[in-house]
Amino acid sequence: MFGPTKSLEGVARHAAGQSLAKTLSWPHLIALGVGAIVGTGIYTLVGVGAERAGPAVILAFLICGLVCGCAALAYAEMATMIPAAGSAYTFSYVALGEGIAWVVGWSLILEYSLACSTVAVGWSGYLVGWIESAGVNLPHALLVGPHGGGIVNLPAVAVALAVMGMLIAGTRESATLNIVLVVIKLVALAIFVTFAAPHFDAKNLHPFMPYGFGSEGKHGVMAAAAIVFFAFYGFDAVATSAEETKNPKRDLTIGIIGSMILCTLIYIAVAVSAIGALPFTALANSPEPLALVLRTIGQPVAGHLIALAAILALPSVILVMMYGQSRVFFVMARDGLLPRGLAKVSKRTGAPTLITLLTGISIAVVAGIFRLDEIAELANAGTLLAFIAVGACLIAMRRKAPDAVRLFRSPAPYLVGGLAVAGCLYLMASLPPMTLVRFILWNAIGLAIYFVYGRRRSEAAVEARAKR
């Protein structure tokens, strides 16, 4: 073990004023999962994936779905056994120890914050495309960050701050609004498949794998998988909501597994329809690939509606990811690894207002300055590490606590956990080298904070000293 661990019994004990209100049921969790998973990944990153893998981006989506399916099974077992906020961070604290938990939590902060920023930038691309398709030209300096010759991506900043305001208003209210936004997204994708599928041309799938399978440079199926992987995570945000779930043993299983299966089927259908309707070179790096397909095949009204649906519904992804980050941040502060003053909940809403405010502002700053693909790649590194940890936790807890109550038991746990770990390691190795360097630097900063501040102030360390 790496440092002290939490007990299965103690993980649910909290000081007064530091417990989250139980306001969510399984429909909210399904919507949280689908709301996080179906978003920028399919609305925007399908173009980036096509540029990297050609038509084989379809295969990249399938590979990611299989790896994430194993991770989802591991999450479902761990979440129903440890129904507490913090998801992979909390699981790691119980199964692997405080040091590993810190690294996982620090990586989750990176995942959620950059995921929010990525979606905000993707949303901005759809908004600008929608407005400019109506003949209105906007000032370039306020539409992109310094990397694109502008000053700030103002629409991305605005949507991040707006979502922050919704979360501060209350968890249940935000989750209920999220259900409406998820329905809009699913209807829009169904419309896309309905219009695009009849234009399927097998010629557009040849050559199917123009850049090969590996990840040489920035091209190949695995290079595409390493970035479209962003499209699949979101069910981990469902696990983060465990403490706020009314019936976690039933609802978490439904939310995690249900949202993962539903979204994988949706992604394959949309990717096949998009790549089959247009040559992949036309889609490559388009900021609004689905709307582009519909306009190109002579359905400008449908394209306009798809873009409008993305504008209305993509904020649901930001909402879920910002929710996830604020909860991980909150639990780390409650455990003493970060300043405890941050672990306060509003008496009115039962939600952590201060943490949400800090989270929203930091996300808005990143979204206003950085490029979509770079943000997504770095967010993926954080997620992959979390998924690796949960796969390891599944295996460790089967050995450490074989008789613990598990409402959901993963089939073939050692195989599922091993495949989740191996698959995520392979995807991580397929990320660009500079992304991995940045990820290592992020964790080096995190470890410095842990050893200087968190290690001696953590609740587990204080309890250990008190027992001496």
Q: Is the pLDDT of residue 20 over 70?
A: no
Which is nearest to 232 in space by CA: 416, 117, 52, 65? 65
| CA gap 389, 398 in Å, rounded | 14
Q: Percentage of residues in the chain with pLDDT exceeding 70? A: 86
Q: Say which range, 71-75, 122-126, 365-369, has the weakest mean pLDDT.
A: 122-126
| CA gap 13, 223 in Å, rounded | 43
> Would you state the pLDDT for residue 314?
76
| CA gap 283, 274 in Å, rounded | 8
Residue 17 host element (H or E): none
pLDDT tens track for 337-369: 988 888 777 777 667 788 888 888 988 988 888
pLDDT tens track for 410-445: 889 999 999 999 999 988 888 888 889 999 999 999
Q: Is the pLDDT of residue 126 over 80?
A: no
Q: Say which range, 87-101, 370-384, 417-431, has the weakest mean pLDDT.
A: 370-384
Q: Is the pLDDT of residue 308 over 90?
A: no
For the chain, state the CA radius of gyration.
21
| CA gap 386, 60 in Å, rounded | 20
pLDDT tens track for 273-299: 988 998 888 887 676 788 888 888 888
> Would you state the pLDDT for residue 392?
96
> Would you state the pLDDT for residue 422?
94
> Would you state the pLDDT for residue 173?
65
- The arithmetic mean of pLDDT across residues 243-252, rounded, is 72
Whole-prediction pTM? 0.78
| CA gap 410, 267 in Å, rounded | 24
Residue 90 host element (H or E): helix 88-95
Q: What is the DSSP string of 330-387?
A: HHHHHTTSS-GGG----TTTSS-HHHHHHHHHHHHHHHHHS-HHHHHHHHHHHHHHHH
Q: Is the pLDDT of residue 1 over 60?
A: no
- Type of residue found at 64: C
The domain limits of the chain are 22-467
Instruction: Tell me if the bond preceding 432 is cis, omega within 30° of 0.
Output: no
Which is nearest to 252 in space by CA: 420, 416, 111, 90? 90
| CA gap 150, 172 in Å, rounded | 38
Q: Is the pLDDT of residue 210 over 90?
A: no
**Among 127-141, 200-214, 250-264, the range of highest mean pLDDT:** 200-214
Q: Would you place residue 270 in the very low, low, confident or very high pLDDT band (cuts 50, 70, 90)?
A: confident
First CA to last CA across the chain, in angstroms?
20
Q: Is the pLDDT of residue 63 over 60?
A: yes
CB atoms closer than 10 angstroms to residue 162? 15
For the segment(s) 22-467, the CATH number from 1.20.1740.10, 1.10.3720.10, 3.90.550.10, 3.10.28.10 is 1.20.1740.10
Q: Which residue has better confidence, 354 or 170?
A: 354
Q: Would you place residue 174 in the very low, low, confident or very high pLDDT band (cuts 50, 70, 90)?
A: low
